[in-house]
Structure 1
Amino acid sequence: MRRTVLILLGLVLGGVMIAGAVLVAGWTWPGPAREDTAFTLQSGATLKGAAVELERAGLVSSADRFYLRARLLGSTSAIKAGEYLVPGGASEKEILAILVGGVGINRFITIPEGMPSILVYERLMAADQLTGTVEVPAEGSILPDTYAYDKGDSRAEVLARMQGAMARALDEAWASRSAHTVVKSKAEAVTLASIVEKETSVPAERRMVAGVYSNRLRVGMRLQADPTIIYPLTKGKPLGRRIKRSEILAVNGYNTYSMAGLPKGPIANPSKASIEAVLNPEKTKALYFVADGSGGHVFADTLEQHNANVAKWFAIRKERGI
């Protein structure tokens, strides 16, 4: 009888040890998910509640076992609300570390330099993890940059951050403006900067292009900037074809081929660098510039020099079959 009791006791103890070993080993075994899975932990969620949601999402095999292991083997730190990307096959130990670490999914929306507001609007509306709607923002009110956001943030809040960033950048640039600048207000600075932004993609040229346009404004010459022809046609979207003669001659509030001075408003959202270029333009006598065939421009002080540069550019275009 005693022998039987000892055998049974041994079996029970052995079973407990095996169960304990399985419990511990299961903490680091690969989980059931085969693909990376987005998992949202709501604010105020408890560890027990999180365990239930993890099981529902197919990230752990058993909510009860995960909860027990987490309490016995896991961190004592609190889990943090957020949206997380759990790798496929993540163990229970790795999942808890993710929830405790609080490093969620990074979501960004990037506004390139010179993007018009209609495209900013479309980009905001296409971000399906944002909520609510917005109107097309005022042209020139957005600072081009990359903005982080979380799932569920409102489009209005993200837009407000973009516009707040532009207001601050403009204030800083205006405070450091040169006496040589031709613009008389922040609004004029943004308008001229938007033209500079669209006319050159070479950062080193910004101040020179700003210098040319500043010189033209001083002497009453027309700016003759092609992007100002396109803006009233497409609100800044690519035209997709050559500009027509009739469009060059069109009279409106933007076309700087048919009017002297600045257009009635910005034609894009300029970078801080372009705003700074307009407020601190290059001191130059140049009044003209044309493409040089390598992505930049060649500048000229006189019409005679400019015409020679234009002839070279046309020769390059012909050679390239443009």
Structure 2
Amino acid sequence: MAFCENLKSALKAKVSIYDSNGNIVDGEDLGFVFTKDLEYKNGITYINASKYIIAISKEISQDAINLVRMIALANIEEAAGFMQPLEYILKNDVQSETLRGRFSDYSVLYIKSKTNFKDLLESIYESTDTSIIQDDEGIYIVKVIDDLEQEADSIIDGISQEAGSNVLIGASRRVGASYTIKDAANHAKQAANLASILGFKEGFYHIDKMLMYGILYSCSDEAVEYYMNGGFNGFYDVIKDKELLDTAEELFKCHLNVSEASRKLYLHRNTLLYRLEKIKNLTGLDIKRFEEAVIFRTVVALYKLKRR
């Protein structure tokens, strides 16, 4: 940041800039101390400048402090908005206005996993323009990606071969105009989280295909209960029956083609039809019909998202 470098040169001292939560925005980390105005500690001057704390590695005079604060209030917020590193942006509350025009055409993949694959991913992307950032639930991959599903499948195959693990990957839209890198990161992570809540253990899930589930998840519990009350009682028996749920899911994957679904499940066609009839008896829905299949999938999603 030019402001930080100029201040360092003028004061002949190291300079750090922190946000009010103690996250370093720029400069060398001198150790964060929050102050509402001014504090000297261990030979370091801490100055409050609006939303930021400026740390200077020596004690400076009141005149110098006033000058630093005046310059900071005029320049630091705008400069910080454009110079915050990607990891800071993804992990902190950053205003969208400061991100517009940055990272255009980039997309975000989010690998949701308790296993740390960061070293493996860094070796895979070693010679590419890719940012790999870890948080407490998984890993962001940020880069320009032509084919998101192909990229995700490549990651899934690579991790499976190298680590023998299955992974679940969420994906964002492409950054552009008012859709910022922060929006993309949030969407990628939300897509992965929704897929996990719905019971999926692996695979690729784009935010656009998770849109309905995101809307359902954001609905209030009161609204869901209002529409579910007194109806769909048989769904609980279907949801407890993994065989019936798997049958329904395979039918949906096969675009409601009974013959193809029976082949994929290695079932006689009549056996599959028997299971579908059982679902109909329990729920009142014939999921061979498109409209009723949509209702079935929506209600199952509501049970998983809201009645865990």
TM-score where L is the length of structure 1: 0.26
Q: Which has the higher strand share?
A: 2
Bigger radius of gyration: 1
**Larger RCO: 1 or 2 (CA < 8 Å, sep 6+):** 1
